[in-house]
Amino acid sequence: MKLLLLLVLMGTATAKVQDLSGKMFTFPQPTNSAHVRMSLANHCYQAVTVCHRSVTDLKRFHALFSVSTPSHDNSFVVFWSGGAQDVQTTVKTTAIGYGGCDYKSNKWHSICTTWDSVTGLGQMWFDGVPSIRKFIRSGEAITGQAIVILGQEQDKHGGGFDINQSFVGMMSDVHMWDYILSPCEIQNYMENLHFTPGNVLNWNALDFDISGHVLIENKTVVCQLKNI
Ligand SMILES: *[C@@H]1O[C@H](CO)[C@@H](O)[C@H](O)[C@H]1NC(C)=O
Ligand SMILES: *[C@@H]1O[C@H](CO)[C@@H](O)[C@H](O)[C@H]1NC(C)=O
C-alpha cells in the first residue's frame, strides 16, 4: 500500500504537462546528453507537419527536431546541414535539402516542415516563405512507438547522441500535427496569429521530460522605451 502511494506520488511528480506559451527551452552548452524528450501516443503517422522557432549561432550540423521509431533512428528529422549549408529533412533513410534559406546566426527562425506518405512530397516553410514541394519518399507511414527529442539527434531509438550534432541555443513554439496544415494555418503560425495548435504535440499543453542542462525561460523580455 505504501509502495503504491509512493508510486502514485512519483507518477504525479514526473508527469509534467505544461503550458509553455511565452516560454522557450534554453540549451546553453554543447553536450551529448542534455535534451527534451516526448513520447508520442499514436503509432502511425500517414502525414506530419512540424513547426518550431529557434535561434542559434552554430555553423555545424545540428538537429532541430528528431523523431525516432524502433525501426528507424531518423524516422523524421529536421536539421541544419553544415556541409550543404541548408535546412534538410530526413524521412527514414532519405534526406533532402531546401536551398535558399537565409539561416542567420542569433536570429529567430520559424520553420514548418510537412511530409505526406501517400504523395511522398515534403515542403518547408522558412520565415514565412514556402519552399518548392519536393519528393522525399512515399508508400509507408511512420509507424511504431515514436520518441521526439529536442536538443540532440538520435542515432539510436531514444539515445545515441553526439555532442557534435547537439543543438545550442533557444527553441520555442514547438507543435506537431498528424496531417498537412493548410498554407493559411502555416502562415498564421509564422506570423504569431491564431492557428490550430498541434494535435500531436502542443506547446500550450506539452508533456515532456528534461534531461541535463536545459532551462525553461521566458521567451522575450520586451523593454518598453519611454516616449520622450
Ligand atoms: C567533435 O568534433 C571535434 C572537433 O571537430 C572533434 O575533435 C571530436 O572528436 C568530435 N567528438 C565526437 C564525439 O565525435
Ligand atoms: C516570466 O514571465 C512571467 C509571466 O509574464 C512573470 O511573472 C515572471 O516574473 C517572468 N520571469 C522572469 C524570470 O522574468
The answer to whether residue 225 sits within a structural domain is: no
**0.85 cut: is pTM over it?**
yes
Q: Which of 153, 162, 164 should be mutated for ligand 1, with most atoms under 8 A from CB?
A: 164
Verify whether ligand 1 is closer than 6 Å to residue 163 (CB atom). yes
Cα–Cα distance, 107 to 189 (Å, whole number): 17
State which ligand 1 atom lies nearest to the alpha carbon of 32: 13
What's phi and psi for 47, nearest 5 deg?
A: -150, 155
The answer to whether residue 205 sits within a structural domain is: yes
Verify whether ligand 1 is closer than 6 Å to residue 44 (CB atom). no
Q: Is 147 helix (H, G, I), strand (E, B) or coil?
A: strand
Residue 6, pLDDT score: 45
Verify whether ligand 1 is closer than 6 Å to residue 164 (CB atom). yes
Domain hosting 100: range is 2-218
The answer to whether residue 227 sits within a structural domain is: no
Which among 79, 220, 66 is positioned nearest to 156, based on CA atoms? 66
Helices and strands in the chain: count of H runs, count of E runs: 2, 19
Domain count, the chain: 1
The answer to whether residue 211 sits within a structural domain is: yes
Walking along the chain (228 residues) 10 residues at a time, the average pLDDT comes out as 45 70 97 97 93 98 98 97 95 94 96 98 97 96 97 97 98 98 97 96 98 95 67
Instruction: Indicate which residue's Cα is closest to atom 8 of ligand 1.
Output: 164
The answer to whether residue 226 sits within a structural domain is: no
Query: What CATH number did the domain enclosing 60 receive?
Result: 2.60.120.200
Nearest ligand (C-alpha, residue 32) = 1
Distance 33 CA to ligand 1 centre (A): 15
Residue 137, pLDDT score: 97
Q: Is 188 helix (H, G, I), strand (E, B) or coil?
A: helix
Residue 227, pLDDT score: 66
Residues 84-119 pLDDT 10s: 999 999 999 999 999 889 999 999 999 999 999 999
Those residues whose C-beta lies under 8 Å from the C-beta of residue 18, and which sit 6 or more positions away, are 205, 206, 208, 216
Verify whether ligand 1 is closer than 6 Å to residue 94 (CB atom). no
Residue 200 CA, chain-centre distance (Å), reads 12
